[in-house]
Structure 1
Amino acid sequence: MEPENPAYSAELAYPVNPVRVRGDLDPALSRWMWLVKWLLAIPHYIVLFFLHIAYFVLTVIAFFAILITGKYPRAMFDFNVGVMRWTWRVEFYALSVLGTDKYPPFSLKSSEEYAADLQIDYPERLHRGLVLVKWWLLAIPHYLIVGAMLTGGTTLYMYDDDEWSGAGSIPLISILLLVAVIGLLFTARYPKGVYDFVVGVSRWTIRVQAYASLMRDEYPPFRLDQGAREPENR
């Protein structure tokens, strides 16, 4: 009996995902710049506001195009992937990861030079029937899990009139980022375990978004692929 090929086993365990998310941690992050990056990114928020309006409109048009022809118009697909890519870079820089101090480019195009990037393979054909249900019904389990990861966390309590009462909750992602910025502030290092988990949550969320936005028919895996790169690219 021939010995098992480790490379072949790894390929079976982690097939190439059509949605690939990269987020390379900057090894020289500033101790304090996280305080202002969200403010520096305001021009991006303004542009992305209008881009997401276009993203929504084009997704609706793509819905009918897929339903009738089984194809996602290529120009619309490339534009919407570009919007997702731009959004991911801004989130990586200023919001959900804080993984780089390099200002994100004002561009829809892919770039190997920037720390964060996103690739989605264009589908030559899409199932016309799935377009009716995958964005809401089939994606519900993922919505619940991603929602729990993004909003679940710690509830704050206050003591008032001889009793404890809930005063709101802190989302899990906010707790993790708080740990990250404390690590940066005192050690100039981003805790690796926290970083890997935060990027993994973002990767899962983006895969679900691509599926719900009708870009792919492959069901997103129930798997938290942590770390800077997809498993097959590490």
Structure 2
Amino acid sequence: MEMEPEKPVVAANPIRVRGDLDPDLSRWMWLVKWILAIPHYIVLFFLYIAYFVVSVIAFFAILFTGKYPRGLFDFNVGVMRWNWRVGFYSLTVLGTDKYPPFHLRQDPDYPADLEVDYPETLHRGLVLVKWWLLAIPHYLIVGALMSGAVGNAADDGANPWGLVLTWPLISLLLAVALIALLFTARYPKGLYDFVVGINRWAIRVQAYASLMRDEYPPFRLDQGPREP
């Protein structure tokens, strides 16, 4: 009797991003979500100041000890988690009408969440280059997907500066999704999966550049609400 070959074991991604689409999204609530989320923006402004300070402290801790202090690590992951929930609700996905909670903890009852596995050790030398030099290719791609770009325009006299601002891809995708939602009360699934994939890529790069993991982020869009 022939034995079936064992399937290779695939390790779980150490950075896991979840975003479950709300099946009953309001047709019009996206018009005001960004206003309703203003209290979160204010809190996140101060949290990200602390996030930067913690990252600097972690930089020196990793450089000299090879470890990211666990308390600081959990705090920064919590800030990323909070930011992802707010973005999922109001800015970068618009995938739920459920208001985000005001805390850093994991919340299995909220449709958006993320986890980053704590590394027992980190490479002391990589801390010097991974957050700027090694991550540059990802910065260029994620920047093109998530932010507008300025380029040279043809000089026709109408634009004395010869510049043009292009819309980021994610904004165009969200515009299409919102038009579909307004007229059909449905968020197109393929479009939703693609938008979440862009956000997942950006979050993985943020975690890598924030010194949380040594694994280099993959150059791919893992689409869909859950990690593949």
Deviation of 1:151 (Å): 3.2
Deviation of 1:145 (Å): 1.2
Shift in CA distance, 136/161, structure 1 to aligned 2, threshold 3 Å:
closer
The 8 Å contact of residues 84 and 112 in structure 2, kept in 1 or not, is answered as yes
Q: Does 1:34 align with 2:64?
A: no
Deviation of 1:166 (Å): 6.7
- Equivalent residue letter for 1:198: V
Which of 218, 222, 225 aligns to 2:215? It is 218
Q: Does 1:18 align with 2:41?
A: no
- Equivalent residue letter for 2:66: G
Deviation of 1:168 (Å): 3.0
Q: Does 1:100 align with 2:96?
A: yes
CA distance in 1, matches of 2:48, 2:126: 24
Q: Secondary structure at the match of 1:135?
A: helix
Q: Secondary structure at the match of 2:217?
A: coil
Shift in CA distance, 38/2, structure 1 to aligned 2, threshold 3 Å:
same
CA distance in 2, matches of 1:26, 1:162: 45
Q: Does 1:177 align with 2:159?
A: no
Shift in CA distance, 127/106, structure 1 to aligned 2, threshold 3 Å:
same
The alignment's TM-score, normalised by the length of structure 2, stands at 0.91
Q: Does 1:198 align with 2:195?
A: yes
Q: Does 1:122 align with 2:109?
A: no
Number of matched pairs: 224
- Equivalent residue letter for 1:109: R
CA distance in 1, matches of 2:134, 2:168: 25
CA distance in 2, matches of 1:201, 1:59: 24
The alignment's TM-score, normalised by the length of structure 1, stands at 0.89
**Percent of matched pairs sharing the same residue:** 73
The 8 Å contact of residues 148 and 165 in structure 2, kept in 1 or not, is answered as no
Q: Does 1:89 align with 2:93?
A: no
Q: Does 1:77 align with 2:43?
A: no
> How big is each residue's C-alpha offset from its partner over 1:114-166, in whole Å with a ceiling of 9 and x where there is no partner?
0000000000000100000000011111111111222368x9x99x7799x87
Q: Secondary structure at the match of 1:36?
A: helix
The 8 Å contact of residues 48 and 79 in structure 2, kept in 1 or not, is answered as yes
Aligned-residue CA RMSD (Å): 2.3
Q: Secondary structure at the match of 1:149?
A: helix
Which ranges of structure 1 fall in alignment gaps of 5 or more residues? none
Following TM superposition, the consecutive aligned residue runs of length 4 or more in structure 1 with deviations greater than 6 angstroms are 160-163
Deviation of 1:78 (Å): 0.3
CA distance in 1, matches of 2:224, 2:30: 20
CA distance in 1, matches of 2:22, 2:5: 37
166-175 or 117-126, which moves further after superposition? 166-175
Which ranges of structure 2 fall in alignment gaps of 5 or more residues? none
CA distance in 2, matches of 1:161, 1:70: 57
